[in-house]
Amino acid sequence: EVQLLESGGGLVQPGGSLRLSCAASGFTFTNYAMGWVRQAPGKGLEWVSSIFPGGDRTYYADSVKGRFTISRDDSRNTVYLQMNSQRAEDAAIYYCAKYGTVVTPYHLDFWGQGTRVTVSS
Amino acid sequence: IQMTQSPSSLSASVGDRVTITCRASQSISNHLHWYQQKPGRAPNLLIYAASSLHSGVPSRFTGSGSGTDFTLTINSLKPEDFATYYCQQSYGTPWTFGQGTKVEIK
């Protein structure tokens, strides 16, 4: 059974940093790309970032480029999202998700339950 | 790539057939996926590659379309189907979602 368990959310001040983690199990982690999607309170879904097997291919939404960094540790079956220079508009539930395929069309077939990030002074 | 869903919300009764449309601002071939989200829960994949049913998803959910126009149809709506539905394209980065369609009980 695929499981994705996010952690690391919480309250951060504007301009501050936070690192989210997503521990994966139930599938061969090294074979799959992983992504982060966020949802601001009462709003829709926004793709944030993705990382492909091996970690050499990473992609970011324009809204977080240069501030967020995605990484993976295949020895720990974990994907991370380092969030720096936090802004009020970064406040959201952050979902970790697994890619459903190693070829296109890529989609997200399993999602974690999310971790909440609040940005406030 | 902008994704536009319609309607933004709808009211329907148990047993109804419901159709939600999603339009892309440019051709995305079949790189279109549908997710269901219930309040307070993570999204769940329903349909991928425009028309392929994700494992475990009931067959009353069907997807169709290619290019720029896509539809999600729910045949014979059940109580557990009242939720918000999102389309998403993965043809190019940034991946983008539609704004969502909330299906409410009439």
Taking CB atoms and an 8 Å limit, are A105 and B54 in contact across chains? no
DSSP letters spanning B27-61: --TT-EEEEEE-TTS--EEEEETTTEEPTT--TTE
pLDDT at B18: 97
Q: Which two structure tokens, joined as six digits, stand for A35?
A: 């992504």
CB half-sphere exposure, A38, CA atoms < 13 A:
23
Residues of B in contact with A105 (CB under 8 A): 29-33, 48-49, 90-91
Taking CB atoms and an 8 Å limit, are A111 and B44 in contact across chains? yes
Q: Are A111 and A80 in contact (CB under 8 A)?
A: no
Closest chain A C-alpha to B77 CA, distance in angstroms:
23
Using the predicted structure, report yes or no on whether residue A102 has a pLDDT greater than 90.
no
Average pLDDT, chain A: 97
Taking CB atoms and an 8 Å limit, are A100 and B48 in contact across chains? yes
How would residue A105 be classed by pLDDT, with cut points 50, 70 and 90? confident
SS (H, E, C) chain A: CCEEEEECCEEECCCCCEEEEEEEECCCHHHCCEEEEEECCCCCEEEEEEECCCCCCEEECCCCCCCEEEEEECCCCEEEEEECCCCHHHCEEEEEEEECCCCCCCCEEEECCCEEEEECC
Residue of chain B whose alpha carbon sits nearest to that of A113: B42
Residue B83 is classified by DSSP as S
Provide φ and ψ at B81, rounded to 5°. Answer: -90, -5
Q: What is the pLDDT of residues A28-68, one digit of tens each?
A: 999 999 999 999 999 999 999 999 999 999 999 999 999 99
Q: What is the pLDDT of residues B53-85, one digit of tens each?
A: 999 999 999 999 999 999 999 999 999 999 999
Taking CB atoms and an 8 Å limit, are A44 and B96 in contact across chains? no
Q: What is the pLDDT of residues B83-94, one digit of tens each?
A: 999 999 999 999
Average pLDDT, chain B: 97
pLDDT at A103: 86
Using the predicted structure, report yes or no on whether residue A104 has a pLDDT greater than 90.
no
d(CA A38, CA B97): 11
For the segment B35-51, the average pLDDT, to the nearest whole number, is 98
Provide φ and ψ at A90, rounded to 5°. Answer: -85, -10
d(CA B74, CA B7): 14
Q: Are B99 and B8 in contact (CB under 8 A)?
A: yes
